[in-house]
Amino acid sequence: MRLTSREWAQVLGWFCRGLSAQAIASETRLERRRVLRALLRLRQALACEVPPVFRGTVEVDETYLGGQRRNQRYRQRGFPRGRGTVKTPVFGILCRGGQVWAQIVPNVSQTTLQELIRRRVRRGSTICSDTWSGYTGIATKGYVHRLVDHSQGYVQPGPRGRHINGLEGFWGYLKRRLAAKGGIRRERLPLYLAESVWRYNHRQLSRSQQVKVLMRLLQR
């Protein structure tokens, strides 16, 4: 049985407050399975919501999701970057003063990362990254490339804004949200990643504004 417009508005209102499916069911007095179906449909819609191609100054970085240890690849001890782990690799791009985009990737190789950059960032833009070899050669692809060596600190001397602190902040936000879920099945991880991206990109809106945006999204 489908939800009415009024029921959708209630579900979305509590969703924007960050309540769990069980809590939403309790607040709306809807069956939990109906709420779960509604949230699945919502997250699938969010996964299709892709920001426009970025331009200007952007930050790029990768991280790993899953497991209990600190999972930034450059903090792992005794493993080459991106290897020796069963965690799920995620690549992200943040536009300074704009939005963030993130996607689960099969690996963090140069081929994979630079193809995504080519698709998601307009040529001529300035790209800030760390020293991971996957970013080697970006400057030859029509971009201005600024490197951040984390062994020297998180903000580098030289051109203003030479850091990836914005994207690091998003990774922290993402991992706190996922940790609060108490464990997510790997096949559902893309949906929860899309949810966190959407919440981050719309965090400046009021809850009522967020509900309106989600209602329009579901009506497409």
- The confidence score (pLDDT) of residue 149 equals 81
Q: What is the pLDDT of residue 35?
A: 97
- pLDDT higher than 60, residue 71: no
Residue from 14, 30, 28 nearest 211 by CA: 14
Predicted pLDDT at 1: 61
- Which residue would you say has higher pLDDT here, 18 or 79? 18
The domains of the chain are located at 5-48+198-218, 57-172
pLDDT mean over 11-24? 96
Mean per-residue pLDDT of the chain: 88
Rg of the chain over Cα atoms, rounded to whole angstroms, equals: 19
Give the per-residue pLDDT at 139.
Answer: 95
Give CA separation, 78 vs 49, 82, 130, 210, in Å.
Answer: 38, 12, 19, 44
Contact 35, 11 (CB under 8 A): yes
How far, in Å, CA of 202 to CA of 198, rounded? Answer: 6
pTM: 0.86
Residue 134 contacts residue 114 (beta carbons within 8 Å): yes
Q: What is the pLDDT of residue 151?
A: 65
Does domain 57-172 fall into CATH 1.10.3470? no
- Confidence at 119, pLDDT banded by 50, 70, 90: very high
What integer is the mean pLDDT of 142-149? Answer: 93
